[in-house]
Structure 1
């Protein structure tokens, strides 16, 4: 049981995986003839980007809500911790 408590402790927390990776903006820093020749493909890349960036923003909203909820739980845990009387050895 003690192992489970320590395993869930922030001291042993692993770095979190980035949850919301942003999409890459299509490249337009190309010669004019390339932009002209591949106009349809580049336009399709931008359409895909705009769809992906909308998904990315929704992910950020979800992540923001998750982080706020986590911070709220941490605040409650800290408040509960502060209400625990100190051990005799900690008293002056």
Structure 2
């Protein structure tokens, strides 16, 4: 299913569905600029998240997204950019 918007709530939902509740910081509060490792998610969790986003939103994320998206804000920006490109 292709969608045109991707929000922090979408990211939180997909993280929880794919990797469960994090150990450590958690997903509550202002996490936009908090490193994923500080929230409790590692690179494997982000790979699973990216895979789920690709299937759900009908986009293909660059491999660099996982390496460069160290915070939810950067991850959201990357997904939003891919969605905008796909819609154009």
TM-score calculated relative to the size of structure 2: 0.30
Query: Which of 1 and 2 has greater Rg?
Result: 1
More helix by share: 1
Larger RCO, structure (CA 8 Å, separation 6 or more): 2
TM-score calculated relative to the size of structure 1: 0.29
